[in-house]
């Protein structure tokens, strides 16, 4: 009995010694790993992620620099000079959008057989529709819960007059732009219905019962009549439809169409190499874009009150959609960690924040998906151009939320049918936005008209529209759709 009691403390001491030795060996191993990381891997990590680190740093420095320069009250001319490096970045990116859009879609469609392209197209349409409907639902729920429009309309100052647009004409323009009569003109212009004043003579019958006189009198009145017109900008929707059909035809021609396929494939590769060069300049341009916009901002106090609550509501809705909904969809479809995939898109996301245009970010999104996330080029060439044109989740959320906010400001009570109409119209109108900055303000007219809300009240939110456009433009939905299952 004594012997066993003597052995137990000895075993306990030996066990503690083994545990202590194990801890020491593991701590030593961990220390060696940290030392090896700091000496070898840290340099490789910074080199591998240099673009992302520089871009994030540019955003932070741009915000600090912008607020630091605000007290100096720079003139409009000085702000233009200061923002010039950012303007150059936008021009470089927009220069590449047209050839990249056309070449990537044609080669992507030509590389797929009809069955594969049909399956991928159906999947893309279902995914885009689903994410847009979810985004609209989130926006409506957020604005109904937070109720940012509660208060007096007198708190607002209208910024400028918005051009009146007929919802029917805007919808017909969307269809017309899908089929441009001149494919060369579609590279620089979009069809848009304009309105002209026309003097109309009307005969009015006059009856005077006192003197039993009957006669007619001609009166003139002015009417606004729709006339064909155009606006500057790439007709992305028309080019997408043409390129998809052209690519399918080339793919069906097999050997006869191979030279054309090789040409567009080579063009696409050349554009991507240009993108690789421009990416080194992107952090500088983003820095001056953000700093210039902050310096240019006239009244920062507009972010308070009802507009402040409206801004917070929009941002909360966008964050819920981007951080919870899209990663969840990615995990459900692929069973992989969504944040690893999103990490590969980080530079494209930050660039979208700086440029406020998903179309301008398209070249960098291509590079991030193909090089960082190793997505098949045949998939990215089909999914990304279509997604950058019609998959506007942020715009749809923003328009639905803004319409209900304007109704709240005017003390209008919307019923379920009107809210449903807003959701459907916002989903459809967002397709026509085509990734152009502030196009949401134009398509919002369609949403307001659908439920009889005053379109002039769009001017109430222009003070914060520039800021919300920066947050609503991100390529994550199209990027996630291109991920392999």
**Residue 162, pLDDT above cutoff 90:** no
CA distance 334 to 342: 13
CA distance 11 to 135: 64
Query: Can you give the pLDDT at residue 438?
Result: 46
Q: Do residues 289 and 373 share a domain?
A: yes
Most confident of 31-45, 254-268, 336-350: 254-268
**How would residue 45 be classed by pLDDT, with cut points 50, 70 and 90?**
low
CA distance 70 to 67: 5
Query: Can you give the pLDDT at residue 170?
Result: 72
CA distance 383 to 484: 12
List, for residues 345-393, the tens digit of each pLDDT value: 888 887 777 776 667 788 888 888 888 888 888 788 878 887 776 777 8
**Residue 397, pLDDT above cutoff 50:** yes
Greater confidence (49 vs 135) lies with 135
pLDDT, the chain, mean = 77
**Where among 31, 48, 65 does a domain terminate?**
48
Contact 191, 176 (CB under 8 A): yes
Q: Do residues 189 and 201 share a domain?
A: no
Query: Can you give the pLDDT at residue 266?
Result: 92
**Residue 436, pLDDT above cutoff 50:** no
Q: Do residues 119 and 17 share a domain?
A: no
**How would residue 68 be classed by pLDDT, with cut points 50, 70 and 90?**
very high
**How would residue 13 be classed by pLDDT, with cut points 50, 70 and 90?**
low
Total domain count, the chain: 3
User: 475: alpha, beta or left, given left = phi > 0 and alpha = psi -120 to 50?
Assistant: alpha
Q: Do residues 106 and 250 share a domain?
A: yes
Cα 357 to the center of its chain, rounded Å: 6
| Rounded CA Rg of the chain | 29
Greater confidence (168 vs 249) lies with 249
Query: Can you give the pLDDT at residue 113?
Result: 66
CA distance 314 to 12: 62
Percent of the chain at pLDDT > 90 equals 9
The dihedral over CA atoms of 253, 254, 255, 261, expressed in degrees to the nearest 10, equals 90
Query: Can you give the pLDDT at residue 392?
Result: 79
- Looking up tokens 């939110």 gives 461
Q: Do residues 178 and 202 share a domain?
A: no
Q: What is the CATH number of the domain that holds 235?
A: 1.10.3860.10
Greater confidence (424 vs 477) lies with 424
Structural domain that includes position 140: 49-193+229-481
Q: Do residues 121 and 262 share a domain?
A: yes
Mean pLDDT in residue range 430-446: 59
304 Cβ partners below 8 Å, 6+ apart?
none
List, for residues 79-115, the tens digit of each pLDDT value: 899 999 988 988 888 888 888 888 888 888 887 766 6
List, for residues 278-328, the tens digit of each pLDDT value: 888 888 988 998 888 888 876 666 555 677 888 889 999 999 998 899 889
**Residue 446, pLDDT above cutoff 80:** no
Closest to 363 in 3D by CA, of 127, 68, 104: 104
Q: Do residues 369 and 432 share a domain?
A: yes
**Residue 1, pLDDT above cutoff 50:** no
CA distance to 15, 25, 229, 454, per residue, from 226 (Å): 91, 82, 9, 21
Mean pLDDT in residue range 394-421: 86
**Residue 187, pLDDT above cutoff 70:** yes
CA distance 302 to 313: 15
The dihedral over CA atoms of 430, 349, 312, 299, expressed in degrees to the nearest 10, equals -90
Q: Do residues 223 and 280 share a domain?
A: no
CA distance 370 to 384: 11
Residue 202, strand partner residues: 219
Query: Can you give the pLDDT at residue 12?
Result: 60
Closest to 479 in 3D by CA, of 347, 354, 353, 355: 347
Q: Do residues 217 and 366 share a domain?
A: no
Closest to 363 in 3D by CA, of 248, 300, 282, 292: 282
Helix axes 167-178, 236-252, angle to 10 degrees: 30
List, for residues 224-246, the tens digit of each pLDDT value: 778 888 878 788 778 888 988 89
**Residue 154, pLDDT above cutoff 60:** no
CA distance 212 to 456: 47
Q: Do residues 124 and 41 share a domain?
A: no
Contact 100, 239 (CB under 8 A): no
**Residue 156, pLDDT above cutoff 60:** no
Query: Can you give the pLDDT at residue 275?
Result: 82
Query: Can you give the pLDDT at residue 82?
Result: 92
**Where among 171, 203, 227 does a domain terminate?**
227
**How would residue 437 be classed by pLDDT, with cut points 50, 70 and 90?**
very low
**Where among 16, 33, 48 does a domain terminate?**
48
Mean pLDDT in residue range 471-479: 61
Q: Do residues 56 and 133 share a domain?
A: yes
Percent of the chain at pLDDT > 70 equals 73
Q: Do residues 10 and 103 share a domain?
A: no
**Residue 210, pLDDT above cutoff 60:** no
Closest to 162 in 3D by CA, of 462, 452, 469: 462
Query: Can you give the pLDDT at residue 435?
Result: 40
Q: What is the 3-state secondary structure (H, E, C) of the chain?
A: CHHHHHHHHHHHHHHHHHHHHHHHHHHHHHHHHHHHHHHHHHHHHHHHCHHHHHHHHHHHHHHHHHHHHHHHCCCHHHHHHHCHHHHHHHHHHHHHHHHHHHHHHHHHHHHCCHHHHHHHHHHHHHHHHHHHHHHHHHHHHHHHHHCCCCCCHHHCCCCCCCCCCCHHHHHHHHHHHHCCCCCCHHHCEEECCEEEEEEEEEEEEEEECCCCEEEEEEEEEEEEEEECCEEECCCHHHHHHHHHHHHHHHHHCHHHHHHHHHHHHHHHHHHHHHHHHHHHHHHHHHHHHHHHHHHHCCCHHHHCHHHHHHHHHHHHHHHHHHHHHHHHHHHHHHCCCHHHHHHHCHHHHHHHHHHCCCCCCHHHHHHHHHHHCCCCHHHHHHHHHHHHHHCCHHHHHHHHHHHHHHHHHCCCCCCHHHHHHHHHHHHHHHHCCCCCCCHHHHHHHHHHHHCCCCHHHHHHHHHHHHHHHHHHCCCHHHHHHCCCC
Contact 382, 110 (CB under 8 A): no
Q: Is 416 exposed, middle or buried (0-12, 13-18, 19+ CB in 10 A)?
A: exposed
Closest to 253 in 3D by CA, of 113, 99, 108: 113
- Give me the phi and psi of 163, to 5 degrees please: -65, 130
Mean pLDDT in residue range 119-129: 81
CA distance 345 to 423: 29
């Amino acid at each position: 009995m004594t012997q066993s009691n003597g052995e137990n403390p000895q075993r306990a001491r030996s066990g503690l010694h083994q545990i202590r030795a194990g801890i020491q060996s593991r701590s030593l191993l961990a220390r060696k790993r940290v030392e090896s990381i700091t000496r070898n891997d840290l340099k490789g990590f910074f080199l591998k992620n240099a673009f992302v680190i520089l871009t994030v740093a540019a955003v932070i420095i741009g915000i600090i620099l912008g607020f630091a320069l605000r007290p100096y009250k720079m003139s409009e001319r000085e702000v233009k000079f200061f923002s010039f490096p950012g303007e150059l970045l936008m021009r470089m990116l927009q220069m590449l959008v047209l050839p990249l859009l056309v070449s990537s879609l044609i080669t992507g469609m030509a590389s797929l057989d009809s069955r594969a392209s049909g399956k991928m197209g159906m999947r893309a349409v279902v995914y885009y529709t689903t994410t847009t409907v979810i985004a609209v639902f989130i926006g409506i729920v957020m604005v109904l819960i937070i109720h940012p429009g509660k208060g007096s309309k007198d708190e607002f100052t209208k910024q400028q007059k918005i051009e009146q647009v007929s919802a029917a004409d805007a919808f017909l323009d969307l269809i017309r732009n899908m089929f441009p009569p001149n494919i060369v003109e579609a590279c620089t212009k979009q069809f848009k219905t304009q309105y002209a004043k026309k003097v109309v003579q009307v005969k009015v019958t006059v009856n005077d019962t006192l003197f039993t006189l009957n006669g007619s009198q001609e009166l003139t009145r002015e009417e606004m009549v729709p006339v064909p017109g155009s606006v500057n900008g790439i007709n992305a929707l028309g080019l997408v439809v043409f390129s998809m059909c052209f690519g399918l035809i080339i793919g069906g021609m097999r050997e006869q169409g191979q030279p054309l396929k090789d040409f567009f494939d080579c063009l696409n590769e050349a554009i991507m190499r240009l993108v690789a060069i421009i990416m080194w300049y992107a952090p500088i341009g983003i820095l001056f874009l953000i700093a210039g916009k902050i310096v240019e901002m006239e009244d920062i106090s507009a972010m308070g009150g009802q507009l402040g609550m409206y801004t917070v509501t929009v941002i909360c809705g966008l964050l819920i959609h981007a951080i919870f909904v899209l990663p969840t969809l990615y995990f459900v479809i692929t069973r992989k960690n969504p944040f690893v995939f999103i990490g590969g898109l980080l530079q494209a996301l930050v660039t979208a924040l700086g440029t406020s245009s998903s179309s301008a970010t398209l070249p960098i999104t291509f590079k991030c998906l193909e090089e960082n996330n190793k997505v098949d080029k045949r998939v990215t060439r089909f999914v990304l151009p279509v997604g950058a044109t019609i998959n506007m989740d942020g715009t749809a959320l923003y328009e639905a939320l803004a319409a209900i906010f304007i109704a709240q400001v005017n003390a209008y009570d919307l019923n379920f049918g009107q809210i449903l109409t807003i959701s459907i119209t916002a989903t459809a109108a967002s397709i026509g936005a085509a990734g152009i900055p502030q196009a949401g303000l134009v398509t919002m007219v369609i949403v307001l008209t659908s439920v009889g809300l005053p379109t002039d009240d769009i001017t109430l939110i222009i003070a914060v529209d520039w800021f919300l456009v920066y947050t609503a433009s991100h390529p994550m939905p199209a990027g996630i759709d291109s991920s392999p299952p």
